Structure 1
Amino acid sequence: MSVPGIVQSRLDGEQVAAQVSLGGEDALFVTPSRTLIYRADGLLSDESVDEYPHGAERIEISEGRRKSSVSLDYGIEGTEKFKIPSNRLYEALHPVLAGVLNAADVTGPDETVKQTYQFSELTLVITSDRVVKHVGAAVWDQDFEEFPFADVTALEVEEGNVSSQIIIESDGRPQRIKTPSDQTREVRERIERALLAYHDVASYEEFARAHAEAEEHADAEGTPDADDEPASENDPLAGGGVDPIEANPPELDDNGAIIDDDADVTTGERVEETADEDPLAADADGPETDAGENESDPTASSDAEQSDAQATEETTETVAQGGSAAVTESSAENTESADADGGFAESGFEPASSSLREGDTEERLDALTEMVERQNELLEEQQRTIETLIEELSRGR
C-alpha cells in the first residue's frame, strides 16, 4: 500500500514504521513519534489526516460490534480518541502500543515489538529484548513489570485444565504469567523465539546448556550461589522461593475464556464482524420486483377493453413509483372513447372500442416497458449509492 501524498507531506522527515488498512483507501500509519489516521475522499468527508502523538501516559480501548475506539490519555493535556473498524482493532493496536512504549522509554530505539496479547486486564508485550507485563484497566500505563532477556535463565510452563502459567526465571527468581490454557503454547513459543534470538542460540537445549556451563564456571571460581546467601527478613519470597500468583488474576471458564470480558484475544486471531444490513438496501428491491411483474403481463384478457383497463391500472401504479403522467392521460383517452359509443352506454356493458387496434396497444406497452426499464436503472443507481454510504460508515467515517 502506497503512502498518500497528503500523508507524506505530514511526515516531517520521519519514516513510516508500520501501516494498517482500515477498509477501502483509509489507513493507519505509524511513525516513531506519531500515529496518523488517513481518511480518503468519500461521500461523507473530504481527504484528511489526523495526528496522535505517542507521548501518552496510558491507552484505553472501547470495543463495539462494528466500530471500536482507541483513546490516548495525555494527562493534563487531555485525551484524544480515534475510531476504527472493530475487525481491524488489534491489528492496529499493536504498532500504536509499540510506538507509545518506545516514546515512554520502556523499549529502546533499536528494540522491536514482536507480539502483544491482552487477557482480560493482563497486557503482555514481547519485544526483541524483554517481556513487559502490565495488569490494569488500561492497555498500558506506568504500572508495569519487565523481564529483560539478559537476566532470564529458564523458561517453563505449569499446565492446567482451564488456565496455565508461564514461568520466566529472571535473576534467579521465577516470575509467573497466568494465561488461558488454549493459548499458553503460542505465548510460550513466541517468548522462546525472542529469547533464543537475543542470546543467538539455535535451540532451548543449547541455551540451557550454555547457562548451566556458566553457573558451573562461576561455582568453580568460588562465586557464592544466590541460594547460599542468608534470607532477608523483609524478602517475602525468602521462604517460598517463588513469586505469589497475581492477587486478582482474571477468572477463566472451563473453555479457557476470560469471564465477563471480551478482550481475551490475540493480535492475529480476531473474528471478522460484518456490518448491519441497511434497511434501505432491502426496500430498494421492492419497486424493481413490481416493475418486473408489470412488464410480464401484456395481455391478461382476450377482451381489448379489459386489456386497456389493466394497462391503465398498471400505468397508475408506475406513476406512483416515479413514472411519467403521460401514460395515465393516454389511458384516460381510451376510456373516454369507449364511453362515446352510445349503443351499450346505458346497458351496463362496454363495447370493444374500434380505436383500440393491436398496433396502438403494442405501442403503449412499448412505452410502458421503456419507463419501467428507466426506473430500474434509477433504482440500481440508488442501490449503488446506498452501498457506498454503508461502506464508508463501516470504516468509522
Structure 2
Amino acid sequence: MEIPDLVREELGDEELRAGVPIGDEDVVCATPSRTLVYNAEGLLSDERVDAFPHDADRLELTEGRRKTTFEFTYVDGTRSFSVPGDHTRDVLTLLLEGILKTHGVIAAGESVVGAFRFSELTLVIAEDRLIRHIGATVWDDDFQTYAYEDLTGLAFEEGSVATELVVWIDGRPQRIKTPRDDARLVEETLKTAVFEYYDVATLAELDRIVGVDDDPETTPDGNDLGLGSDIDPLVAEGDATESPAEPATETDAGTDVEATPPTSNPDQTEPQQTEQSAAETSQSVADDSPIDTDIGDGERGSPDRNDESLEVSAEPDPAVATAKEVEELREQMDELSTAVDRQNQLLKKQHNAIKELVEQLRNQ
C-alpha cells in the first residue's frame, strides 16, 4: 500500500503501524496514538487528512446500505468518518487495536487478530486474550477479558440459527453466541490465535496442554450445569432392589452375603421356597377371585383377551426434555444473560452519574 505524501507529512515523528485501503486512493492509517483518514482530491472536495486520537471514551458504529460510520466520543465532543461497507471489518479491527492499546486493555506489542460486531455484541480476538463487549456501543469501559493463559477448554457448538463459542476459563464455561454465517470465520480466527499462543495444531493437543481432567463439571465434554458433589443420589450405585431391612453378614471368607431367615425345614432349598410361595399366592388369589361363569371355554383361552394390558406404551415420557427443547432453553438463557448484562451496564452508568452529581454538590 502506497502512503500518500500528505499522510507522511501528518505523521511527523510517529511510526505508521498499519493501513487499510478503502477504495480508489483513500486510505485509513493507524499510529500508536491516533488513526489518520486520508481522502484523495475529488470533483467536489480537496485532498485532506483527518486525525482521530485513540483516547476516545466511546466508539460507536452505524451501518447503512452502502457506508459504515464510525463515531468517536471524547471529553470535548464527538467526531466521525465513513468508509464503504465492505471495508467495515478491516477498519474496525484497526481502530479497536489502537483504542485497546491506548487504554491498556492489551499489551503494547500485542496485535488484534480479528474484530467482529454482531448486533449488540463486539468480539475482539487478540494474540493473548479474548475481549467481549455487550451494548449499543462498539466499545466503552464495560467489557470482559478472557486471557488465554487461564484457558482450560475450547469448543464450538452448532445450533439451528447460531453457533456457540464455549471458552472455559479456570474451569468455568463462558458461552458466546455467533451467527452461523460468520461462525466459521470466528472459529478459525480464534483457533489461529489460541493455537499460536500454545504452539499446537489441534484442539486435542490444546486439551492435553491446558490440563483438561475427567471431571464432567470442568471438562469441555461435560455439562457446565453439573450437580455439586454434596448432593446424594436417590438410588445408590449397585443393586437398586436391595432391601435395607435385610442386613448383610460376613462369612469366614470375608464375602458379604444376605442373611437367610430360619425356616421350619432346614433342608429346604431356596428354589423350593420360591415355588411354594408362588403356589400359595396363586391358590390364595384363586380362592378369593369370583368365577365368571359367562365366559366360554373358547373365550377363556383366547390370547386376545389381555392384549391391551400387555401392550407397552410407545408414547415419549413428557418429563424428559428433547434436544430441541434444551436448545430453545439455552437460547432463552443466553438472551436473558444479555439483558442482565445490559441492565448492569445501565445501573453502573447511573451510579457513576449520581457520584459525579454528589461530588459537584459538595464542591459548590
- Band of TM-score, shorter chain: 0.5 to 0.7
Summarize the alignment of residues 198-347 of structure 1 with structure 2, pairs less than 5 Å apart. 198-212=197-211, 245-247=334-336, 249=338
Aligned to 1:196: 195
In the alignment, what sits opposite 2:63?
63
Distance change >3 Å, CA 63–CA 183, structure 1 → 2: closer
Following superposition, the deviation at residue 12 of structure 1 comes to 2.5
CA contact (8 A) 2:152 2:212 kept: no
- Partner Cα separation in structure 2 for residue 143 and residue 172 of structure 1: 23
Three-state SS of the structure 2 residue aligned to 1:93 is helix
> Any idea what the Cα deviations from partners look like across 1:266-323, whole Å, max 9, x if unmatched?
xxxxxxxxxxxxxxxxxxxxxxxxxxxxxxxxxxxxxxxxxxxxxxxxxxxxxxxxxx
Equivalent position amino acid for 1:60 in 2: E
Separation in 2, partners of 1:89, 1:184: 17
Q: What letter corresponds to residue 34 of structure 1 in structure 2?
A: R
Residue equivalent to 2:40: 40
| Paired position in structure 2 for 1:13 | 13
Q: Which amino acid aligns with 2:22?
A: L
Q: What do residues 25-65 of structure 1 show as CA deviations (whole Å, max 9, x unaligned)? A: 12111111111111222322222111110111111122222
Amino acid at match of 1:40: A
CA gap of 1:90–1:247, structure 2 versus 1, over 3 A, is same
Q: 1:67 to 1:204 in 2, by over 3 A?
A: closer
- Cα deviation, 1:137-175, whole Å, max 9, x if unaligned, reads 011111111110000010012321112311100011111
Give me the whole-angstrom Cα distance separating, in 2, the residues matched to 1:46 and 1:157: 49
Separation in 1, partners of 2:208, 2:337: 36
Q: Is the 8 A contact 1:71 1:79 kept in 2?
A: yes
Find the aligned partners of 1:194 and 1:13 in 2 and give their Cα distance.
Answer: 32
Please report the TM-score for the alignment, with normalisation by the length of structure 2. 0.57
Matched-pair contact (CA < 8 Å) for 1:178–1:249: no
Contact 2:89 2:116 in 1 (8 A): no
Q: Can you give the 5+ residue segments of structure 1 that lack an aligned partner in the other structure?
A: 217-226, 232-243, 251-397
Equivalent position SS for 1:9: helix
In the alignment, which residue of structure 2 is the partner of 1:53? 53
Q: Is the 8 A contact 1:15 1:31 kept in 2?
A: yes
1:134 has 2:133 as partner:
yes
- Tell me which protein shows more helix as a share of its residues: 1
Structure 2 residue runs without a partner (length 5+) = 216-226, 232-332, 340-364
**Number of aligned residues:** 227
Letter matched to residue 109 of structure 1? A
Q: Deviations over 1:351-371 (max 9, x none)?
A: xxxxxxxxxxxxxxxxxxxxx
Report the 3-state secondary structure (helix = DSSP H, G, I; strand = E; otherwise coil) of the residue aligned with 1:61. Answer: strand
Distance apart, 1:124 and its partner CA: 0.5
Q: CA deviation at 1:229?
A: 10
Distance in 2, matches of 1:37 and 1:94, equals: 15
Higher-RCO chain (CA-CA 8 Å, sequence separation at least 6): 1
The answer on whether the counterparts of 1:155 and 1:192 sit within 8 Å (CA) in structure 2 is no
Q: Which structure is higher in strand share?
A: 2
1:115 partnered with 2:204? no
Is the counterpart of residue 82 in structure 1 residue 89 in structure 2?
no
Q: How far did 1:90 drift?
A: 2.6
User: Residues of 2 paired with 1:67 and 1:174: CA distance?
Assistant: 37
Change (3 A) 1:2 1:197: same
Equivalent pair of 2:150/2:169 in contact (CA under 8 Å): yes
Shift of 1:248: 5.5
Tell me what 2:161 maps to. Answer: 162
* Aligned CA-pair RMSD: 2.6
**1:27 to 2:23 alignment:** no
